């Protein structure tokens, strides 16, 4: 461990002592060897804070920097795991972190646009920030054309602070992986690398702007989620300029009730938005704490989510989406054997794992949570038991899914605040089933064929030459290595492979022809189920050829 990292540990200890959080020092194994240093802290002897413990904890996390603030933000959504006073105080970290000075904010803006040009761009800029978070703070402004916008400014010198703490985490992760029995399975270095990537992505406002634009396209109808428009002309790497939107913070339950908002519908919409983002789009808002979500209450029975702060976005590959969707549906259907099989097929647990034992372990963890309202489910206890199951079967942590897990915790926290009786599973199941049906439909298959057609058009003409080269190479290699009978058998197999390949090429060509006919005008004198008869004939004939050529073993 480097000297500056040891100094950072001492600093953490000092901050905890400064805010008189001695109990936390005693309870933290990493800091326990340093607890005697807290006795030497001048704050311990000169300051006796009368602030409540919740406020002292919030101030300590704020003093320790953005990584610790992020940790507090996540904790604030888990009221089932925290006392009410601590949860209420930590909730302020979502958008009430101590702001940097107005002079620094103005200097950032002047440096970006030039001091002389400001009066030609903005008619007004509020000096007091609308919100202040761990990475940036937001100021309201008005453009010369009268449009209301917000300016999101990255905190000055924040990158240096983040780099220092991330380096410390990398060191601690390496030590954990080397000396901790669970280190290799939990892959702490990869988890820290994922955290590092997300934190530094948040510092790039151009990246956040592009994420907002993509999310806006995904929800272009605006019925479920509205995303403010980005002013690309004024957005810089350290300044984001976007449309100002107005709504009630989703955490202000009293205001929502005063406007007669249908809270049950609002909670269900939150679940629908998450699963639509994750499984339909594969691109999701991964920082959905109450400070980043507002509600449009113009129609109380049909409220609409308003999203802000797109610094942390998650993505899922098609493989991840399919795997997770299959897992969720298997959970919803109580098919724990399928869950066990999926874990083994994906390589998340060793291939020699006994399916029956793994199935029984998963059932014992998950069965108690079904058919119960959200307010009666302790996801903290559930995660603890799943961790114990993972340790027993050597399940590896998947760093690429850390953001998804974090977002699920945020969604649960929102649902618990809005409508505690919400049945999360009952709400999510039809969404996933509809997505799976759409994915397996003939329309989806036809779309895939159309998408693959350009690649086929380029590859198919090359197949005869590739096949010829393969045959020549095989003949050359086997002539000196095999007996006459083996050589004849090989020639026979090659000839059959050629016939099967020709059949596959012909079948693919017929299917492409069917797709091209549909794509040309979509109409023919004779139609069936909205598709030209000729397309049906070519497609079925091509499918038969493909099936025959691929299934023929002789």
Phi then psi for 257, rounded to 5 degrees? -70, -35
**If you write DSSP's letter for every residue of 204-230 in order, what string do you get?**
-HHHHHHHHHHHHHHTTT-SSEE-PPB
At 461 the three-state DSSP class reads helix
> Do residues 134 and 61 lie in contact, with contact meaning Cβ atoms separated by under 8 Å?
no
Q: For residue 7, give every residue at least 6 positions away whose Cβ sits within 8 Å of its Cβ, in sequence order, or none.
A: none
217: which 2 tokens? 């396209």
> Do residues 432 and 329 lie in contact, with contact meaning Cβ atoms separated by under 8 Å?
yes
Angle between helices 355-366 and 336-346 (to 10 degrees): 120
Q: For residue 326, give every residue at least 6 positions away whose Cβ sits within 8 Å of its Cβ, in sequence order, or none.
A: 338, 342
Kindly state the helix (H) or strand (E) to which residue 329 belongs, with its residue range.
Answer: helix 318-332
Tell me how crowded residue 115 is: count the other CB atoms within 10 A of its CB.
11
> Do residues 355 and 344 lie in contact, with contact meaning Cβ atoms separated by under 8 Å?
yes
- 487: burial class by Cβ within 10 Å (0-12, 13-18, 19+)? middle
Rounded to a whole number of angstroms, the distance between the first and last alpha carbons of the chain is: 65
The verdict on whether 80 is a catalytic residue reads no
3-state secondary structure 493-504: HHHHHHHHHHHH
Q: For residue 386, give every residue at least 6 positions away whose Cβ sits within 8 Å of its Cβ, in sequence order, or none.
A: 365
Rounded Cα gap, residues 100 and 94, in angstroms: 16
Phi-psi region of 183 (alpha: psi -120 to 50; beta: other; left: phi over 0): alpha
Rounded Cα gap, residues 415 and 264, in angstroms: 9
Rounded Cα gap, residues 18 and 48, in angstroms: 9
| Cross-strand bridge partners of residue 152 | 138, 240
- Which entry of 165, 287, 326, 423 is annotated as an active-site residue? 287
- 286: burial class by Cβ within 10 Å (0-12, 13-18, 19+)? buried
Question: Which of 171, 166, 228, 176 shows the shortest CA–CA distance to 197?
Answer: 166
Which pairs count as long-range contacts for 248-254, CB under 8 Å and 24+ apart, including other chains? 248/294, 248/295, 248/297, 249/290, 249/291, 249/293, 249/294, 249/295, 250/290, 250/293, 250/294, 250/295, 250/305, 250/414, 250/417, 250/418, 251/91, 251/94, 251/290, 251/291, 251/417, 253/417, 253/418
Phi then psi for 212, rounded to 5 degrees? -65, -40
> Do residues 329 and 429 lie in contact, with contact meaning Cβ atoms separated by under 8 Å?
yes
Catalytic center residues: 287
């Amino acid at each position: 461990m480097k000297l500056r990292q040891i100094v950072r540990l001492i600093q953490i200890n000092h901050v905890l002592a400064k805010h008189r959080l001695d109990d936390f020092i005693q309870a933290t194994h990493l800091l326990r060897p340093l607890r005697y240093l807290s006795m030497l802290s001048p704050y311990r002897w000169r300051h006796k804070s009368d602030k409540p413990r919740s406020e002292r904890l919030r101030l300590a996390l704020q003093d320790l920097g953005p990584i610790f603030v992020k940790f507090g933000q996540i904790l604030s959504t888990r009221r089932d795991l925290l006392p009410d006073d601590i949860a209420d105080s930590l909730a302020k970290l979502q958008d009430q972190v101590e702001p940097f000075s107005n002079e620094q904010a103005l200097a950032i803006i002047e440096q970006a646009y030039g001091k002389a040009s400001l009066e030609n761009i903005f008619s007004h800029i509020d000096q007091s920030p609308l919100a202040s978070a761990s990475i940036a703070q937001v100021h309201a402004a008005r453009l010369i054309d009268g449009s209301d916008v917000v300016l999101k400014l990255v905190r000055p010198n924040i990158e240096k602070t983040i780099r220092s703490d991330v380096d410390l985490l990398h060191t601690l992760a390496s030590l954990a992986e080397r000396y901790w029995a669970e280190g290799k399975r939990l892959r702490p270095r990869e988890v820290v690398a994922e955290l590092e990537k997300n934190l530094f992505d948040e510092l790039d406002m151009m990246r956040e702007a592009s994420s907002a634009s993509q999310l806006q396209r995904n929800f272009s109808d605006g019925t479920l989620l509205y995303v403010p428009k980005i002013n690309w002309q004024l957005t810089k790497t350290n300044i984001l300029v976007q449309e100002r939107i107005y709504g009630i913070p989703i955490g202000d339950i009293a205001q929502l009730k005063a406007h007669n908002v249908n809270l049950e519908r609002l909670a269900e919409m939150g679940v629908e938005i998450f699963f639509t983002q994750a499984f339909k789009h594969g691109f999701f808002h991964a920082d959905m704490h109450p400070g980043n979500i507002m509600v449009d209450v113009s129609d109380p029975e049909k409220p609409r989510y308003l999203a802000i702060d797109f610094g942390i976005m998650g993505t899922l590959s098609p493989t991840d989406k399919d795997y997770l969707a299959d897992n969720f549906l298997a959970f919803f259907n109580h098919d724990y054997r399928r869950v066990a099989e999926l874990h083994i097929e994906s390589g998340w647990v060793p291939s020699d794992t006994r399916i029956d034992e793994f199935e029984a372990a998963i059932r014992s963890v998950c069965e108690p949570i079904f058919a119960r309202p959200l307010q009666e489910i302790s996801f903290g206890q559930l995660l603890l038991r799943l961790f114990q199951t993972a340790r027993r079967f050597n399940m590896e942590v998947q760093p690429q899914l850390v953001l998804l897990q974090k977002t699920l915790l945020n969604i649960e926290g929102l649902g618990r605040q809005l409508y505690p009786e919400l049945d999360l599973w009952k709400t999510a199941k039809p969404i996933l089933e509809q997505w799976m049906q759409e994915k397996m439909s003939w329309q989806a298959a036809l779309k895939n064929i159309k998408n693959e057609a350009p690649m086929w058009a380029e590859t198919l003409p090359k197949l005869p030459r590739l096949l010829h080269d393969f045959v020549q190479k095989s003949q050359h290699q086997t002539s000196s290595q095999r007996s006459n009978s083996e050589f004849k058998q090989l020639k026979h197999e090659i000839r059959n492979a050629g016939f099967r390949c020709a059949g596959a090429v012909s079948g693919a060509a017929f299917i492409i022809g069917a797709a091209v006919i549909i794509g040309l005008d979509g109409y023919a004198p004779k139609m069936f189920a909205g598709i030209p008869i000729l397309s049906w004939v070519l497609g079925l004939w091509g499918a038969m050829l493909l099936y025959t050529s691929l299934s023929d073993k002789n």
